[in-house]
Structure 1
Amino acid sequence: MSTFERYLTLWVALCILVGIAFGHLMPGFFQTIGSAEVAQVNLPVAVLIWLMVIPMLLKIDFTSLRHVGRHWRGIGVTLFINWAVKPFSMALLGWLFVGWLFRPYLPADQINSYIAGLIILAAAPCTAMVFVWSNLTKGEPHFTLSQVALNDGIMVVAFAPIVGLLLGLSSITVPWNTLVLSVVLYIVIPVIVAQLVRRGLLASGGQPALDRLLGTMSPMSLVALLATLVLLFGFQGEQIIAQPLVIGLLAVPILIQVYFNAGLAYLLNRALGERHCVAGPSALIGASNFFELAVAAAISLFGFHSGAALATVVGVLVEVPVMLTVVWIVNRSQGWYERGGARSVALVPTSREG
């Protein structure tokens, strides 16, 4: 992890302050940006989102899906957590904390929007930072790559239905046209563009050419994320100043779902006898979120001023420090994990495959 990535939470916090300050000093500028829309899609934000997402998707090699069967236990656990547990548990936690326990302390007109943002945040598994987390836990690289590629493929078809279902169950009106458009703009098109660029570079210059491009574009991706946050908080500033506890309260269900899903994935892998080098990244992929997509979808569906957009940004704010604690737990518990059964010992030699 680079120094810049390690202090992402600090940069996010600074962007919050800068965005709020600029929102007060230059309200006309933010209104102009907010009005630059075509078919409910904000064009400046769309460009920033593409700059965020495409460099990450360039790292994904869909041919790695041939390794899926090699780690079927870990793959099965992660798929179960990502698609059958995490979105639904977040919807439950959002309803419990935001819709009930914290309701008296939050703006009444934003309750449903906050819950919607939490659902959107949990409905897409992370595609980029998990490579960092996996490396920090000495994770099996073929498993991590094939799992992320598989999740990306599923996300193309499953993100919109799951979000629509859970928003409907939460009695939130689902703008289906905008939701489908968001999937096309922020998942389908970036996947196609990234894979075409990837194949072209590998065909003409090989892996060194791809690595050079990734070295150039990866910092651009984080800068685009931070610029998006400045815009978002330029619009959200008044609400945050009026309700300074909102960010802390929204962080509670996010923190609970991260540790719950990571712990559940880790324990299920241990129960099934999967190796630690697979269980570690499985837990981390199961717990982390594709917050770049979540921010874009929330803005497209509910707007800059919405509680949904703010809720997804809280996910960005807590992502790095919380996931680093999960990495620490996974590494420190390796001895306990490997005492879980003979099967994990019997499978150790296969870690050298590929």
Structure 2
Amino acid sequence: MTSTQERGGVAVAGKLSTLDRFLPVWIGAAMLAGLLAGRWFPGLGPVLNAVQLDGISLPIALGLLVMMYPVLAKVRYDRLETVTGDKRLMVSSLVLNWLIGPALMFALAWIFLPDLPEYRTGLIIVGLARCIAMVIIWNDLACGDREAAAVLVALNSVFQVVAFAGLGWFYLSVLPGWLGLPTVGLEASPWQIAKSVLIFLGIPLVAGYLTRRFGERAKGRDWYESRFLPRIGPLALYGLLFTIVLLFALQGEQITAHPVDVARIALPLLAYFAVMWAGSFALGKVIGLSYERSATLSFTAAGNNFELAIAVAIATFGVTSGQALAGVVGPLIEVPVLVALVYVSLAARRWFAGPQPAPGGKPAR
């Protein structure tokens, strides 16, 4: 996208690609297509799950990797030190992701689902799994800081390996016991979590870094950013739409057969996404972060690592369990909500100094 497009306001919208301009339409169509496919072809689920990568259907895993690669190839890795030196951003992200986020999901799960222990446990697991995948897409669409997103996602990955099992033990076994509530055990080894991180973040991150390093070395930065990146950029949204279709197809029959259960799971999730995103975005403004870094802070705080949450729920409670269903409903609610929040974020850009970007545009630096 040219600098004129970055500054052009209404003119930008007219110059966006068809894919970008009608993104909510394509996502809605992908969700509907997946639901219909799952409902009309009940044998589709076993086919998609026939081959798995770390407990996730291989086609979905491939969709996630394709989705993340172009965005990570856009990151200017030589600028990461400007992010790691921003203590306001780093500390805020750690507090939001590893103190406030899990505690909020625990509270909402018990408030909204006191009589449904399986769904409640599944939601708590979702709250413990901090986002390392789709947040890359939401941040890019909202014109957040790509370098900051790469650093915060990597930071979340390290804490996920170190802290996930301990936090699961605390929120499912210790804290409920202190409050006189029923307790639950959780099986989640550090190696299982590390595998999820290495696959769903490590592979596209290494691929993106090597692509930029060797692309710039061979042709220069100008060619890389003006010629190469525009060619691979659409792959991110194609991968996103492909992943959404498959996610909804896998659970289409179960979702349409249990609409009341899905609605009850959706309510605390909606509250969670709204509170985490709005609170984080406002915090960024209050502590003096730029729009780009405030957007990155809010999306990394609001998103969750559904790949890990689903894998842990299945490994501990079984593929047909209510905990697994709650894990699956997570991304089904997260996708449309965070897409909507992309546009809310762009509209809130006026609170900050500088030009307003268009969805998917290159953030001002």
Q: TM-score, normalised by structure 1?
A: 0.77
Equivalent position to 2:346, from 311, 327, 331: 327
Secondary structure at the aligned position of 2:74 is classed as coil
Equivalent position to 1:243, from 239, 255, 259: 259
- Aligned-partner Cα distance in 2 for 1:86–1:6: 31
Amino acid at match of 2:161: A
Whether the aligned pair in 2 keeps the contact of 1:40 and 1:178 (CA below 8 Å) is no
- Aligned-partner Cα distance in 2 for 1:8–1:40: 29
State the Cα distance separating 1:185 from its structure 2 match.
0.6
Residue of structure 1 equivalent to 2:124: 115
Residue of structure 1 equivalent to 2:360: none
Question: 1:1-354 to 2 correspondence within 5 Å?
Answer: 4-5=19-20, 7-37=22-52, 40-68=55-83, 72=85, 75-104=86-115, 108-121=117-130, 126-134=135-143, 144-171=145-172, 173-176=186-189, 177-207=191-221, 208-241=223-256, 242-244=258-260, 245=263, 246-269=265-288, 278-289=289-300, 294-302=305-313, 306-332=325-351
Whether the aligned pair in 2 keeps the contact of 1:86 and 1:261 (CA below 8 Å) is no
Aligned residues: 315
Secondary structure at the aligned position of 2:300 is classed as coil
State the Cα distance separating 1:248 from its structure 2 match.
4.4
Amino acid at match of 2:212: R
Whether the aligned pair in 1 keeps the contact of 2:276 and 2:301 (CA below 8 Å) is no
Whether the aligned pair in 2 keeps the contact of 1:61 and 1:149 (CA below 8 Å) is no
- Aligned residues: percent identity? 18
Whether the aligned pair in 2 keeps the contact of 1:126 and 1:289 (CA below 8 Å) is yes
Report the aligned-residue RMSD: 3.1
- Select between 84-93 and 301-310 the one with higher mean Cα deviation: 301-310
User: Given the superposition, is the C-alpha separation of residues 122 and 295 from structure 1 closer, same or farther in structure 2, using an over 3 Å criterion?
Assistant: closer
User: Given the superposition, is the C-alpha separation of residues 319 and 108 from structure 1 closer, same or farther in structure 2, using an over 3 Å criterion?
Assistant: same
- Aligned-partner Cα distance in 1 for 2:60–2:133: 19
Whether the aligned pair in 2 keeps the contact of 1:266 and 1:282 (CA below 8 Å) is no
- Aligned-partner Cα distance in 2 for 1:168–1:238: 32
- Aligned-partner Cα distance in 1 for 2:102–2:331: 14
User: Given the superposition, is the C-alpha separation of residues 38 and 64 from structure 1 closer, same or farther in structure 2, using an over 3 Å criterion?
Assistant: closer
User: Given the superposition, is the C-alpha separation of residues 31 and 225 from structure 1 closer, same or farther in structure 2, using an over 3 Å criterion?
Assistant: same
- Aligned-partner Cα distance in 1 for 2:168–2:17: 37
Whether the aligned pair in 1 keeps the contact of 2:64 and 2:133 (CA below 8 Å) is no
Whether the aligned pair in 2 keeps the contact of 1:116 and 1:167 (CA below 8 Å) is yes
- Aligned-partner Cα distance in 2 for 1:152–1:257: 16
Amino acid at match of 2:32: L
State the Cα distance separating 1:125 from its structure 2 match.
9.2
User: Given the superposition, is the C-alpha separation of residues 316 and 258 from structure 1 closer, same or farther in structure 2, using an over 3 Å criterion?
Assistant: same
State the Cα distance separating 1:3 from its structure 2 match.
5.1
- Aligned-partner Cα distance in 1 for 2:197–2:235: 22
1:74-129 CA deviation, whole Å, 9 max, x = no partner? x222212221223432222212222223445xx54222112222332557794344
State the Cα distance separating 1:182 from its structure 2 match.
0.6
State the Cα distance separating 1:27 from its structure 2 match.
1.7
Whether the aligned pair in 1 keeps the contact of 2:160 and 2:193 (CA below 8 Å) is no
State the Cα distance separating 1:223 from its structure 2 match.
1.8
Whether the aligned pair in 2 keeps the contact of 1:37 and 1:43 (CA below 8 Å) is yes
More helix by share: 1
Secondary structure at the aligned position of 1:288 is classed as helix
User: Given the superposition, is the C-alpha separation of residues 36 and 125 from structure 1 closer, same or farther in structure 2, using an over 3 Å criterion?
Assistant: closer
Q: TM-score, normalised by structure 2?
A: 0.75
Amino acid at match of 2:129: I
User: Given the superposition, is the C-alpha separation of residues 324 and 19 from structure 1 closer, same or farther in structure 2, using an over 3 Å criterion?
Assistant: same
- Aligned-partner Cα distance in 2 for 1:123–1:192: 14
- Aligned-partner Cα distance in 1 for 2:73–2:291: 23
Secondary structure at the aligned position of 1:328 is classed as helix
